[in-house]
Structure 1
Protein backbone atom coordinates (compact mmCIF):
# COMPACT_ATOMS: atom_id res chain seq x y z
CA UNK A 1 0.00 0.00 0.00
CA UNK A 2 1.33 3.42 -0.93
CA UNK A 3 1.83 6.28 1.53
CA UNK A 4 -0.91 8.20 -0.24
CA UNK A 5 -3.29 5.27 0.13
CA UNK A 6 -2.41 4.90 3.81
CA UNK A 7 -2.94 8.60 4.42
CA UNK A 8 -6.27 8.49 2.66
CA UNK A 9 -7.36 5.48 4.73
CA UNK A 10 -6.36 7.21 7.97
CA UNK A 11 -8.32 10.34 7.07
CA UNK A 12 -11.38 8.26 6.19
CA UNK A 13 -11.25 6.52 9.56
CA UNK A 14 -10.93 9.84 11.36
CA UNK A 15 -13.93 11.24 9.51
CA UNK A 16 -16.01 8.17 10.38
CA UNK A 17 -15.00 8.41 14.03
CA UNK A 18 -16.06 12.05 14.26
CA UNK A 19 -19.32 11.36 12.42
CA UNK A 20 -20.14 8.56 14.86
CA UNK A 21 -19.48 10.73 17.90
CA UNK A 22 -21.63 13.50 16.43
CA UNK A 23 -24.38 10.97 15.71
CA UNK A 24 -24.48 9.94 19.37
CA UNK A 25 -24.14 13.53 20.60
CA UNK A 26 -27.31 14.51 18.71
CA UNK A 27 -29.26 11.40 19.77
CA UNK A 28 -29.17 10.80 23.55
CA UNK A 29 -29.71 7.29 24.81
CA UNK A 30 -28.61 3.88 23.60
CA UNK A 31 -28.84 2.67 20.01
CA UNK A 32 -28.61 -0.72 18.34
CA UNK A 33 -25.92 -1.52 15.80
CA UNK A 34 -28.53 -1.80 13.05
CA UNK A 35 -30.05 1.62 13.82
CA UNK A 36 -26.61 3.26 13.83
CA UNK A 37 -25.69 1.51 10.59
CA UNK A 38 -28.91 2.62 8.94
CA UNK A 39 -28.20 6.24 9.89
CA UNK A 40 -24.51 6.46 8.97
CA UNK A 41 -24.41 3.95 6.10
CA UNK A 42 -21.08 2.31 6.96
CA UNK A 43 -20.53 -1.42 6.30
CA UNK A 44 -21.78 -3.24 9.39
CA UNK A 45 -18.56 -5.16 9.97
CA UNK A 46 -16.31 -2.09 9.94
CA UNK A 47 -18.87 -0.12 11.95
CA UNK A 48 -18.88 -2.83 14.63
CA UNK A 49 -15.08 -2.79 14.88
CA UNK A 50 -15.03 1.00 15.09
CA UNK A 51 -17.68 1.01 17.82
CA UNK A 52 -15.82 -1.64 19.83
CA UNK A 53 -12.59 0.38 19.55
CA UNK A 54 -14.35 3.56 20.71
CA UNK A 55 -15.97 1.63 23.56
CA UNK A 56 -12.61 0.26 24.68
CA UNK A 57 -11.25 3.82 24.72
CA UNK A 58 -14.23 5.23 26.64
CA UNK A 59 -15.65 7.41 23.86
CA UNK A 60 -18.66 5.11 23.43
CA UNK A 61 -20.54 3.14 26.09
CA UNK A 62 -22.52 -0.08 25.77
CA UNK A 63 -25.49 -1.37 27.74
CA UNK A 64 -25.48 -4.55 29.87
CA UNK A 65 -26.04 -6.71 26.79
CA UNK A 66 -23.21 -5.11 24.85
CA UNK A 67 -25.52 -4.73 21.87
CA UNK A 68 -26.53 -1.08 22.24
CA UNK A 69 -24.30 1.97 22.08
CA UNK A 70 -24.28 5.56 23.33
CA UNK A 71 -21.91 8.47 23.91
CA UNK A 72 -19.15 7.82 26.45
CA UNK A 73 -17.76 9.75 29.38
CA UNK A 74 -14.61 10.86 27.55
CA UNK A 75 -16.74 13.03 25.29
CA UNK A 76 -17.95 14.86 28.40
CA UNK A 77 -14.37 15.39 29.55
CA UNK A 78 -13.38 16.92 26.22
CA UNK A 79 -16.47 19.15 26.16
CA UNK A 80 -15.78 20.32 29.70
CA UNK A 81 -12.16 21.12 28.87
CA UNK A 82 -13.32 23.21 25.90
CA UNK A 83 -15.55 25.36 28.10
CA UNK A 84 -13.03 25.52 30.96
CA UNK A 85 -10.28 26.69 28.62
CA UNK A 86 -12.31 29.17 26.60
CA UNK A 87 -11.10 32.75 27.14
CA UNK A 88 -14.48 34.31 26.34
CA UNK A 89 -16.28 32.14 28.90
CA UNK A 90 -13.70 33.07 31.54
CA UNK A 91 -13.90 36.79 30.72
CA UNK A 92 -17.72 36.71 30.74
CA UNK A 93 -18.25 35.20 34.20
CA UNK A 94 -18.50 38.47 36.20
CA UNK A 95 -20.83 40.00 33.60
CA UNK A 96 -23.08 36.92 33.53
CA UNK A 97 -23.27 36.98 37.33
CA UNK A 98 -24.25 40.65 37.29
CA UNK A 99 -26.81 40.12 34.53
CA UNK A 100 -28.36 37.29 36.53
CA UNK A 101 -28.61 39.52 39.60
CA UNK A 102 -30.06 42.44 37.61
CA UNK A 103 -32.79 40.39 35.89
CA UNK A 104 -33.29 37.41 38.28
CA UNK A 105 -33.94 35.33 35.14
CA UNK A 106 -32.10 32.56 33.27
CA UNK A 107 -29.00 33.78 31.42
CA UNK A 108 -27.13 32.09 28.56
CA UNK A 109 -23.85 32.72 26.80
CA UNK A 110 -23.83 30.87 23.46
CA UNK A 111 -21.71 30.46 20.35
CA UNK A 112 -22.77 30.09 16.73
CA UNK A 113 -21.75 26.72 15.29
CA UNK A 114 -22.91 26.35 11.72
CA UNK A 115 -26.65 26.98 11.79
CA UNK A 116 -27.00 26.22 15.51
CA UNK A 117 -26.14 27.96 18.74
CA UNK A 118 -24.40 26.06 21.55
CA UNK A 119 -24.72 27.12 25.19
CA UNK A 120 -21.31 27.78 26.76
CA UNK A 121 -22.41 29.14 30.15
CA UNK A 122 -25.68 29.42 32.03
CA UNK A 123 -27.00 31.18 35.10
CA UNK A 124 -30.24 29.69 36.41
CA UNK A 125 -33.30 31.76 37.21
CA UNK A 126 -33.76 32.85 40.80
CA UNK A 127 -37.45 31.98 40.56
CA UNK A 128 -39.03 28.61 41.24
CA UNK A 129 -40.38 28.31 37.69
CA UNK A 130 -37.28 28.03 35.57
CA UNK A 131 -36.77 26.91 31.96
CA UNK A 132 -34.62 23.88 31.16
CA UNK A 133 -31.02 24.94 30.60
CA UNK A 134 -27.64 23.28 30.40
CA UNK A 135 -24.16 23.92 29.05
CA UNK A 136 -23.65 22.18 25.72
CA UNK A 137 -27.27 22.39 24.63
CA UNK A 138 -27.56 22.91 20.86
CA UNK A 139 -30.50 24.77 19.32
CA UNK A 140 -31.35 26.00 15.81
CA UNK A 141 -30.16 29.60 15.40
CA UNK A 142 -33.33 30.73 13.60
CA UNK A 143 -35.58 29.83 16.55
CA UNK A 144 -33.63 31.56 19.33
CA UNK A 145 -32.88 35.15 20.30
CA UNK A 146 -29.22 34.17 20.61
CA UNK A 147 -29.13 32.84 17.08
CA UNK A 148 -31.08 35.72 15.55
CA UNK A 149 -28.82 38.26 17.26
CA UNK A 150 -25.80 36.50 15.73
CA UNK A 151 -27.35 35.99 12.28
CA UNK A 152 -28.10 39.73 12.20
CA UNK A 153 -24.36 40.41 12.14
CA UNK A 154 -24.18 38.68 8.74
CA UNK A 155 -25.39 40.14 5.45
CA UNK A 156 -28.69 38.99 3.94
CA UNK A 157 -26.82 37.06 1.23
CA UNK A 158 -24.64 35.35 3.81
CA UNK A 159 -27.74 34.29 5.76
CA UNK A 160 -29.28 32.92 2.55
CA UNK A 161 -26.14 30.88 1.97
CA UNK A 162 -26.23 29.55 5.54
CA UNK A 163 -29.91 28.63 5.86
CA UNK A 164 -32.30 26.65 3.63
CA UNK A 165 -35.42 28.37 2.24
CA UNK A 166 -37.66 26.41 4.64
CA UNK A 167 -36.62 26.26 8.30
CA UNK A 168 -37.45 23.62 10.90
CA UNK A 169 -40.52 24.34 13.00
CA UNK A 170 -40.12 23.82 16.75
CA UNK A 171 -43.34 25.46 17.91
CA UNK A 172 -46.37 27.04 16.26
CA UNK A 173 -44.59 30.41 16.57
CA UNK A 174 -41.31 29.46 14.86
CA UNK A 175 -40.41 31.41 11.73
CA UNK A 176 -40.08 28.77 9.02
CA UNK A 177 -39.62 31.04 6.00
CA UNK A 178 -36.05 32.22 5.47
CA UNK A 179 -37.05 35.50 3.83
CA UNK A 180 -39.40 36.31 6.70
CA UNK A 181 -36.55 35.64 9.10
CA UNK A 182 -34.27 37.94 7.10
CA UNK A 183 -36.87 40.70 7.38
CA UNK A 184 -36.83 40.27 11.14
CA UNK A 185 -33.03 40.42 11.15
CA UNK A 186 -33.33 43.93 9.64
CA UNK A 187 -35.26 44.97 12.76
CA UNK A 188 -32.71 43.25 14.99
CA UNK A 189 -29.93 45.34 13.46
CA UNK A 190 -31.88 48.54 14.01
CA UNK A 191 -32.93 47.91 17.60
CA UNK A 192 -29.77 46.13 18.71
CA UNK A 193 -31.42 43.04 20.20
CA UNK A 194 -33.36 39.96 19.09
CA UNK A 195 -36.49 38.37 20.51
CA UNK A 196 -37.61 34.75 20.58
CA UNK A 197 -41.40 34.88 20.95
CA UNK A 198 -42.08 31.31 22.08
CA UNK A 199 -40.40 30.14 18.89
CA UNK A 200 -38.21 27.56 20.59
CA UNK A 201 -40.18 26.76 23.75
CA UNK A 202 -43.85 27.49 24.36
CA UNK A 203 -44.44 29.80 27.29
CA UNK A 204 -40.94 31.24 27.16
CA UNK A 205 -39.77 34.55 25.70
CA UNK A 206 -36.08 35.30 25.25
CA UNK A 207 -34.10 38.45 24.50
CA UNK A 208 -30.58 38.29 23.06
CA UNK A 209 -27.68 40.54 22.03
CA UNK A 210 -24.54 39.73 20.06
CA UNK A 211 -21.13 40.46 21.55
CA UNK A 212 -19.26 42.36 18.81
CA UNK A 213 -15.65 41.59 19.71
CA UNK A 214 -15.33 40.16 16.19
CA UNK A 215 -17.30 40.62 12.98
CA UNK A 216 -19.44 38.78 12.15
CA UNK A 217 -20.08 38.00 15.81
CA UNK A 218 -19.83 34.43 17.05
CA UNK A 219 -21.00 34.82 20.67
CA UNK A 220 -24.20 36.20 22.16
CA UNK A 221 -25.87 36.52 25.54
CA UNK A 222 -29.56 36.13 26.31
CA UNK A 223 -32.15 36.37 29.06
CA UNK A 224 -35.11 33.94 29.15
CA UNK A 225 -38.32 34.64 31.05
CA UNK A 226 -41.68 32.84 31.24
CA UNK A 227 -44.37 34.81 29.41
CA UNK A 228 -46.57 34.65 32.50
CA UNK A 229 -43.99 36.66 34.45
CA UNK A 230 -43.12 39.17 31.74
CA UNK A 231 -44.46 42.70 32.25
CA UNK A 232 -43.56 45.80 30.19
CA UNK A 233 -41.48 47.12 33.08
CA UNK A 234 -39.63 43.82 33.49
CA UNK A 235 -39.00 43.65 29.74
CA UNK A 236 -37.45 47.11 29.82
CA UNK A 237 -35.24 46.06 32.74
CA UNK A 238 -34.09 43.02 30.79
CA UNK A 239 -33.28 45.03 27.66
CA UNK A 240 -31.33 47.64 29.62
CA UNK A 241 -29.43 44.92 31.49
CA UNK A 242 -28.58 43.13 28.23
CA UNK A 243 -27.23 46.30 26.64
CA UNK A 244 -25.10 46.89 29.73
CA UNK A 245 -23.88 43.28 29.61
CA UNK A 246 -23.04 43.61 25.91
CA UNK A 247 -20.92 46.70 26.59
CA UNK A 248 -19.16 45.02 29.52
CA UNK A 249 -18.47 41.87 27.49
CA UNK A 250 -17.17 43.94 24.58
CA UNK A 251 -14.66 45.57 26.91
CA UNK A 252 -13.76 42.27 28.61
CA UNK A 253 -13.09 40.54 25.27
CA UNK A 254 -11.47 43.41 23.35
CA UNK A 255 -8.02 41.74 23.37
CA UNK A 256 -9.21 38.22 22.54
Structure 2
Protein backbone atom coordinates (compact mmCIF):
# COMPACT_ATOMS: atom_id res chain seq x y z
CA UNK A 1 0.00 0.00 0.00
CA UNK A 2 1.47 3.35 -0.97
CA UNK A 3 2.12 6.06 1.60
CA UNK A 4 -0.07 9.18 1.45
CA UNK A 5 1.50 12.22 -0.16
CA UNK A 6 0.93 15.68 1.31
CA UNK A 7 -0.28 18.05 -1.37
CA UNK A 8 -0.60 21.81 -1.27
CA UNK A 9 -1.34 24.67 -3.60
CA UNK A 10 1.94 26.20 -2.39
CA UNK A 11 5.27 25.17 -3.90
CA UNK A 12 6.65 22.13 -2.16
CA UNK A 13 9.85 20.14 -2.08
CA UNK A 14 10.31 16.42 -1.84
CA UNK A 15 11.96 15.18 1.34
CA UNK A 16 14.43 12.34 1.53
CA UNK A 17 11.64 9.92 2.46
CA UNK A 18 9.69 10.70 -0.71
CA UNK A 19 6.94 12.70 1.08
CA UNK A 20 6.42 16.21 -0.26
CA UNK A 21 6.89 19.00 2.28
CA UNK A 22 4.32 21.80 2.35
CA UNK A 23 5.86 25.24 1.86
CA UNK A 24 3.24 27.09 3.92
CA UNK A 25 3.77 24.69 6.84
CA UNK A 26 7.55 25.11 6.62
CA UNK A 27 7.14 28.88 6.69
CA UNK A 28 4.80 28.72 9.68
CA UNK A 29 7.27 26.60 11.64
CA UNK A 30 10.14 28.91 10.67
CA UNK A 31 8.23 31.97 11.96
CA UNK A 32 7.32 30.30 15.25
CA UNK A 33 10.87 29.04 15.83
CA UNK A 34 12.33 32.45 15.02
CA UNK A 35 9.97 34.26 17.40
CA UNK A 36 10.46 31.69 20.17
CA UNK A 37 14.21 32.35 20.16
CA UNK A 38 14.07 36.12 19.58
CA UNK A 39 15.03 38.20 22.66
CA UNK A 40 12.36 40.82 21.83
CA UNK A 41 9.34 41.44 19.63
CA UNK A 42 10.13 41.66 15.90
CA UNK A 43 8.80 43.87 13.13
CA UNK A 44 7.29 42.28 10.00
CA UNK A 45 10.22 43.55 7.94
CA UNK A 46 12.73 41.98 10.34
CA UNK A 47 10.93 38.63 10.19
CA UNK A 48 10.53 38.48 6.43
CA UNK A 49 14.11 39.58 5.85
CA UNK A 50 15.60 37.13 8.36
CA UNK A 51 13.59 34.21 6.99
CA UNK A 52 13.72 35.17 3.32
CA UNK A 53 9.93 35.36 3.00
CA UNK A 54 8.06 37.38 0.37
CA UNK A 55 6.71 40.42 2.20
CA UNK A 56 3.06 39.99 1.19
CA UNK A 57 2.82 36.29 2.01
CA UNK A 58 4.87 36.79 5.18
CA UNK A 59 2.45 39.44 6.43
CA UNK A 60 -0.54 37.24 5.54
CA UNK A 61 1.03 34.38 7.50
CA UNK A 62 1.59 36.63 10.53
CA UNK A 63 -2.02 37.82 10.36
CA UNK A 64 -3.23 34.21 10.43
CA UNK A 65 -0.95 33.30 13.34
CA UNK A 66 -2.17 36.34 15.31
CA UNK A 67 -5.82 35.48 14.69
CA UNK A 68 -5.26 31.93 15.98
CA UNK A 69 -3.27 32.99 19.06
CA UNK A 70 0.10 31.52 18.08
CA UNK A 71 1.58 35.00 17.66
CA UNK A 72 0.79 38.23 19.51
CA UNK A 73 1.34 41.92 18.73
CA UNK A 74 2.79 44.07 21.49
CA UNK A 75 1.99 47.72 22.21
CA UNK A 76 4.67 48.94 19.82
CA UNK A 77 3.41 46.83 16.92
CA UNK A 78 6.07 44.13 17.21
CA UNK A 79 5.35 40.42 16.84
CA UNK A 80 6.12 37.93 19.59
CA UNK A 81 5.30 34.30 20.35
CA UNK A 82 1.70 33.82 21.52
CA UNK A 83 -0.02 32.04 24.37
CA UNK A 84 -1.06 29.07 22.22
CA UNK A 85 2.63 28.21 21.89
CA UNK A 86 2.93 28.21 25.68
CA UNK A 87 0.04 25.76 25.93
CA UNK A 88 1.63 23.45 23.36
CA UNK A 89 4.98 23.56 25.16
CA UNK A 90 3.40 22.91 28.56
CA UNK A 91 1.50 19.97 27.09
CA UNK A 92 4.74 18.48 25.78
CA UNK A 93 6.41 18.68 29.19
CA UNK A 94 3.37 17.40 31.09
CA UNK A 95 3.24 14.29 28.92
CA UNK A 96 6.96 13.58 28.77
CA UNK A 97 7.87 10.30 30.47
CA UNK A 98 11.37 11.39 31.47
CA UNK A 99 10.05 14.58 33.09
CA UNK A 100 7.42 12.62 34.99
CA UNK A 101 10.02 10.17 36.29
CA UNK A 102 12.56 12.84 37.17
CA UNK A 103 10.38 15.54 38.73
CA UNK A 104 9.76 13.90 42.17
CA UNK A 105 13.49 13.22 42.53
CA UNK A 106 14.30 16.77 41.40
CA UNK A 107 11.95 18.12 44.07
CA UNK A 108 13.78 16.17 46.78
CA UNK A 109 17.20 17.12 45.40
CA UNK A 110 16.22 20.78 45.38
CA UNK A 111 15.01 20.53 49.00
CA UNK A 112 18.18 18.72 50.05
CA UNK A 113 20.70 21.02 48.38
CA UNK A 114 18.77 24.28 48.30
CA UNK A 115 20.19 24.97 44.83
CA UNK A 116 18.72 25.16 41.33
CA UNK A 117 18.21 21.78 39.66
CA UNK A 118 17.70 21.35 35.91
CA UNK A 119 16.60 18.60 33.55
CA UNK A 120 17.49 18.99 29.87
CA UNK A 121 17.46 17.10 26.58
CA UNK A 122 19.80 17.22 23.60
CA UNK A 123 18.17 18.62 20.46
CA UNK A 124 20.60 18.93 17.58
CA UNK A 125 23.65 20.78 18.84
CA UNK A 126 21.70 22.47 21.63
CA UNK A 127 20.19 21.42 24.90
CA UNK A 128 16.58 22.28 25.75
CA UNK A 129 15.58 22.75 29.38
CA UNK A 130 12.60 20.55 30.25
CA UNK A 131 12.17 21.25 33.98
CA UNK A 132 13.70 23.52 36.62
CA UNK A 133 13.51 23.65 40.42
CA UNK A 134 14.68 27.07 41.56
CA UNK A 135 17.15 27.68 44.37
CA UNK A 136 15.81 29.01 47.67
CA UNK A 137 18.67 31.53 47.77
CA UNK A 138 18.28 35.07 46.44
CA UNK A 139 21.52 34.83 44.45
CA UNK A 140 20.75 32.42 41.63
CA UNK A 141 20.60 32.10 37.83
CA UNK A 142 17.63 30.29 36.31
CA UNK A 143 17.09 28.76 32.86
CA UNK A 144 13.37 28.35 32.29
CA UNK A 145 11.88 25.30 30.56
CA UNK A 146 12.06 25.72 26.81
CA UNK A 147 15.28 27.72 26.86
CA UNK A 148 17.98 26.48 24.48
CA UNK A 149 21.75 26.73 25.00
CA UNK A 150 24.77 25.40 23.10
CA UNK A 151 25.55 21.88 24.29
CA UNK A 152 29.31 22.48 24.34
CA UNK A 153 28.90 25.46 26.72
CA UNK A 154 26.89 23.72 29.44
CA UNK A 155 27.43 20.98 31.99
CA UNK A 156 24.17 19.36 30.87
CA UNK A 157 25.30 19.30 27.26
CA UNK A 158 28.78 18.02 28.02
CA UNK A 159 27.38 15.25 30.22
CA UNK A 160 25.27 14.05 27.29
CA UNK A 161 27.93 14.54 24.61
CA UNK A 162 30.46 12.59 26.67
CA UNK A 163 28.29 9.50 26.21
CA UNK A 164 28.46 9.76 22.41
CA UNK A 165 31.37 8.71 20.16
CA UNK A 166 33.48 11.73 19.24
CA UNK A 167 32.80 11.19 15.52
CA UNK A 168 29.08 11.71 16.19
CA UNK A 169 29.74 14.75 18.36
CA UNK A 170 32.05 16.29 15.76
CA UNK A 171 29.43 15.86 13.04
CA UNK A 172 26.68 17.24 15.29
CA UNK A 173 28.40 20.46 16.34
CA UNK A 174 28.53 23.56 14.16
CA UNK A 175 31.77 24.39 12.38
CA UNK A 176 32.39 27.32 14.73
CA UNK A 177 31.87 26.80 18.45
CA UNK A 178 30.64 30.18 19.60
CA UNK A 179 31.62 31.33 23.08
CA UNK A 180 29.12 32.38 25.75
CA UNK A 181 31.89 33.44 28.12
CA UNK A 182 35.68 33.62 28.04
CA UNK A 183 35.70 30.12 29.59
CA UNK A 184 33.63 28.37 26.88
CA UNK A 185 35.40 25.62 24.93
CA UNK A 186 35.70 26.86 21.37
CA UNK A 187 38.56 24.61 20.24
CA UNK A 188 37.48 21.15 19.10
CA UNK A 189 40.59 19.38 20.38
CA UNK A 190 40.18 20.95 23.81
CA UNK A 191 36.48 20.07 23.87
CA UNK A 192 37.25 16.47 22.93
CA UNK A 193 39.73 16.22 25.80
CA UNK A 194 37.14 17.73 28.14
CA UNK A 195 34.52 15.17 27.09
CA UNK A 196 37.00 12.34 27.62
CA UNK A 197 37.74 13.67 31.10
CA UNK A 198 34.00 13.97 31.75
CA UNK A 199 33.53 10.34 30.75
CA UNK A 200 36.37 9.22 33.03
CA UNK A 201 35.16 11.34 35.96
CA UNK A 202 31.53 10.27 35.63
CA UNK A 203 30.05 13.77 35.72
CA UNK A 204 30.39 17.04 33.82
CA UNK A 205 31.45 20.42 35.17
CA UNK A 206 30.51 23.76 33.62
CA UNK A 207 33.09 26.09 35.15
CA UNK A 208 31.66 29.52 34.22
CA UNK A 209 31.45 28.37 30.59
CA UNK A 210 27.83 29.44 30.21
CA UNK A 211 27.47 32.13 32.90
CA UNK A 212 30.23 34.00 34.70
CA UNK A 213 30.19 33.31 38.43
CA UNK A 214 28.21 30.07 38.09
CA UNK A 215 29.44 26.49 38.29
CA UNK A 216 27.23 23.61 37.20
CA UNK A 217 27.56 19.90 37.89
CA UNK A 218 25.71 17.46 35.62
CA UNK A 219 25.17 13.74 35.10
CA UNK A 220 23.74 12.01 32.04
CA UNK A 221 20.54 10.02 32.44
CA UNK A 222 21.40 6.93 30.48
CA UNK A 223 17.94 5.55 29.75
CA UNK A 224 19.46 4.60 26.40
CA UNK A 225 22.92 4.42 24.89
CA UNK A 226 23.98 7.00 23.96
CA UNK A 227 22.14 9.22 26.47
CA UNK A 228 19.89 12.08 25.45
CA UNK A 229 18.99 13.70 28.80
CA UNK A 230 20.93 15.02 31.78
CA UNK A 231 20.34 16.29 35.31
CA UNK A 232 22.28 19.19 36.81
CA UNK A 233 22.74 21.43 39.83
CA UNK A 234 23.84 25.05 39.31
CA UNK A 235 25.53 26.97 42.12
CA UNK A 236 27.07 30.46 42.35
CA UNK A 237 30.78 30.03 43.05
CA UNK A 238 30.55 32.16 46.19
CA UNK A 239 28.63 29.30 47.81
CA UNK A 240 31.08 26.58 46.79
CA UNK A 241 34.02 24.86 48.44
CA UNK A 242 35.53 21.38 47.81
CA UNK A 243 33.34 19.69 50.43
CA UNK A 244 30.21 21.34 49.04
CA UNK A 245 31.11 20.28 45.49
CA UNK A 246 31.63 16.69 46.58
CA UNK A 247 28.27 16.65 48.37
CA UNK A 248 26.49 18.02 45.28
CA UNK A 249 28.05 15.46 42.94
CA UNK A 250 27.23 12.61 45.31
CA UNK A 251 23.63 13.79 45.56
CA UNK A 252 23.36 14.01 41.76
CA UNK A 253 24.69 10.47 41.33
CA UNK A 254 22.18 9.14 43.84
CA UNK A 255 19.39 11.05 42.14
CA UNK A 256 20.37 9.63 38.74
CA UNK A 257 20.30 6.08 40.10
CA UNK A 258 16.78 6.65 41.48
CA UNK A 259 15.46 8.18 38.27
CA UNK A 260 16.88 5.42 36.08
CA UNK A 261 15.69 2.70 38.43
Aligned equivalent of 2:238, options 225, 228, 233 = 228
Aligned equivalent of 1:134, options 140, 144, 148 = 144
User: For residues 207 and 4 of structure 1, what CA distance do their matches in structure 2 show?
Assistant: 48
> Does residue 49 of the first structure (1) align with residue 60 of the second (2)?
yes
> Does residue 23 of the first structure (1) align with residue 34 of the second (2)?
yes
SS in structure 1 at match of 2:106: helix
Compute the TM-score of the two structures, normalised by the length of structure 1: 0.92
SS in structure 2 at match of 1:172: coil
Give the superposed CA RMSD. 1.6
Deviations 1:29-68 (A, max 9, x none): 2211111111001110110111101111111111346x42
Structure with the larger helix share: 1
SS in structure 1 at match of 2:22: helix
User: For residues 39 and 213 of structure 2, what CA distance do their matches in structure 1 show?
Assistant: 25
Q: Is the 8 A contact 1:208 1:242 kept in 2?
A: yes
SS in structure 1 at match of 2:160: helix
Structure 1 runs not aligned, ≥5 long: 252-256
Partner of 1:36: 47
Question: Structure 2 vs 1, CA of residues 5 and 226 (structure 1 numbering), >3 Å: closer, same or farther?
Answer: closer
Report how many residues are paired: 248
SS in structure 1 at match of 2:212: coil
Give the Å deviation of 1:98.
1.9
User: For residues 152 and 7 of structure 2, what CA distance do their matches in structure 1 show?
Assistant: 42
Q: Is the 8 A contact 1:211 1:250 kept in 2?
A: yes
Q: Is the 8 A contact 1:115 1:140 kept in 2?
A: yes
Partner of 1:61: 72
More RCO (CA 8 Å, sep 6+) = 1
